[in-house]
Structures are given as structure tokens and as C-alpha cells.
Amino acid sequence: MRIVGLFLLYVISFTFVKAQNSSSSYAALDLPLSARHAVLNEPVSLYSEDLESGVFNPAMLNEKMEKQLSLNFVDYFSDIKFVSAAYALPLRDFGTIGISVKSIGYGEFTETDFTSQSLGTFGANEQIIFVGLGKELSERWSVGASVKTLFSNLQDYQSVALASDLAIAYKKEDKNFSMSLLARNYGKQISTYASTEEILPFQLDFGLSKRLEHLPFLITMNYKNIQKWDLTSIYESANNDLNQIASSEEINFTNKLFRHIDVGGELSIGKHIQLRMGYNPKRRQELKVDSYLGMVGFSWGLGIKISHFKINYGRSTYHLHGSPNYFSFSTDFSKFYKQQ
């Protein structure tokens, strides 16, 4: 358990440092791209053969994911589009390695001068390269670490950042239970946009997942942003008046607590269909319109398995104005090798 102790020491020290400054850049590091994970609110402790679980949490990388290919496409708001590809392979006796490449296109913008005269158009995009390693220490304990390199291009401004994730997980496969602690996005800028150094969105998360014994239903629950208690936005107010700024003292204890917690559920219908739903209280509190709450904060989706291929769709309601659509495709190449 020496590794467990070193991990906790790492988490405590860097959580204290990062908690001193809550502002950060590079929000692209926190954008979900997998349809399944977007609906389930990016479960921290989902130990399965789903490669995207290992991309989000390297301690979840395991031999069941080896030789898997995962492709994702997200139709986000306006002209914003995400695409990603991931692959996993064994690294001899060291564990399982996962590699992922993500690209985010923010669309085309009109460039103007200070008199509003059009000067043409420009684009903005970001790419993230992920390399992670997961290692099982025993039947129940595993650890993982990853390095992410982010390349950001915003008009004529470029920046490069390097981030790392570190995680530890406990699992009881005979009970279909797992839990994990994940410290993610610790790092710094390698080059700045305009000589101003910015910090990365460091976050400490804890999660549980459990598949029920007598019902084909998976429950996931996360407690996110452990490093910061008050997640209240200064722009929130009871009557949604944009001219007012809410004080964090106006938000009660229970409201603040549930901004850290999100849940998800997955119901398996036979071996080939999964129905999913999730709820994110923080998103609902920040983006709801009191005159018509709608389904803001809720997400839903489904998964279908056809032969050796898995197709997933998800939709997360961020606001009444619209919702992102997530499409995912995955397959296990080792299944084809066995047939030959």
C-alpha cells in the first residue's frame, strides 16, 4: 500500500496549492466527447471494457480494453464540432496503455476593427493528445497516470499546455462495484497566448459505481471538485436578473453540496441494447430559466451492439436554447483476430 500512500500525499499537496486560485483556462480539457460518458456525467469509477473510461480515468485502463478502437463525434452548439479517436494496447508486463487524439473546431468568426469594419474571417481550434497507462497492483487495486498535451489556436494566438492525471481505483468484480479517486489536469502552460501565464482547470474527483445483483442496472455517482467547496457562479441570482450578481451567502448548504454531485444510470435490455439517463444538479442550477425549467441538467442516450460493433448516442440538455448531440462508435479488433 506504499503506492496508495504516495498517491494520497500527491493529491493532498497539489489540491492545497490549486485551491488557492480557482480561475483557470483550457476548458477544452473538461469537455466530454464520448456519448456514453456525456450522458452518465463522466463517471469517475466505471470499470469496464469501455475504452473511454480509461481515457477519462487512467486507473480504469485494463486488459479488457486492449486492441479497442473508439471514435467520437459531437455536434455541439452553433458551428462547434468535436471529433476524437482512441486506441488501447498492452505494454508487456507494465499494464495497458491508452492513446487518444481529440480535435475541437470552434467554427468561423468575423474579424472587425474598432469601427466594426469587417476585415475578413478567422478560425479557432484546439487539439489534445492523450497517453495514459493503467496498472493493476492486485485483484482489487489499480493505479493509472496520463499525460495530455493541448495545442490551442485562437485566431493569431497560439498556446501549448501540458497536463497530467493521476488516479487510484478499488474494485470488487464479483460484486460489480468500483470506486476511484482522480486528480486531473495538473500542469502548466508551455507557451502563452500573449505573455500572460494562465493555470489549468485542476480538479479532484471521487466516484462510485455499482451494478445491481438482481436487475441489469448500473448506477454511477460522482463527487466532483473536492478541492473547492463553493461552486456558486457570481452571475446566478434568484430571479435570473442579468443586472444583479448573486452572493454566495444567498445559496444554502444543501444547494452547494449538490453542485458537487451528479448521477447516472444504465439499463441493459438483453445483451445488445442499453438505455441511459443522467442528472447534473450544478448544470441545472447554473443554466435553468425559472419561468420554464424544462429538462435542463438532464441527459439521456442509448447504446446498440451489432455483431462486434457498438454504436452509442447521447444528448445532454444544457439550456432551453439547445443541446449537444454525441455519437460514438467502437469495436474490438481482437474479436476479428480470433475468428481468423
What CATH number is attached to the domain comprising 283? 2.40.160.40
List the grid coordinates of 234: 457570481
Say how far apart CA 163 and CA 292 lie, in whole Å.
39
Containing structural domain, residue 318: 2-339
Q: What is the mean pLDDT of residues 25-54?
A: 92
Range among 21-25, 213-217, 232-236 rated most confident: 213-217
Q: What is the mean pLDDT of residues 118-125?
A: 88
Are the C-beta atoms of residues 140 and 170 closer than 8 Å to each other? Answer: yes
39: left (phi > 0), else alpha (psi -120 to 50), else beta? alpha
Q: What angle do CA 86, 88, 93 make, to 5 degrees?
A: 155
Q: How many domains does the chain have?
A: 1
H or E segment to which residue 125 belongs: strand 118-136
By percentage, how much of the chain surpasses pLDDT 90? 59
Q: What is the mean pLDDT of residues 304-311?
A: 93
Burial 155-190 (b: 16+ CB within 10 A, else e): eeeebebebbbbbbbbbeeeeeebbbbbbbbbbebe
Burial 26-59 (b: 16+ CB within 10 A, else e): bebbebbbbbbbbbbbbbbbbbbbbbbbbbbbbb
Taking only the tens place, the pLDDT of each residue in 220-256 is 999 999 999 988 876 664 444 544 545 555 678 888 9
List the grid coordinates of 109: 468568426
SS3 state of residue 206: strand
Side chain identity at 203, as an amino acid letter?
Q
Taking only the tens place, the pLDDT of each residue in 57-85 is 999 999 999 899 999 999 998 889 999 99
Band (pLDDT 50/70/90 cuts) for residue 17 is very low
Higher-pLDDT residue of 273 and 122 is 273
Say how far apart CA 83 and CA 33 lie, in whole Å.
7
Are the C-beta atoms of residues 159 and 134 closer than 8 Å to each other? Answer: no
Q: Judge whether residue 18 has pLDDT over 70.
A: no
Say how far apart CA 326 and CA 38 lie, in whole Å.
8
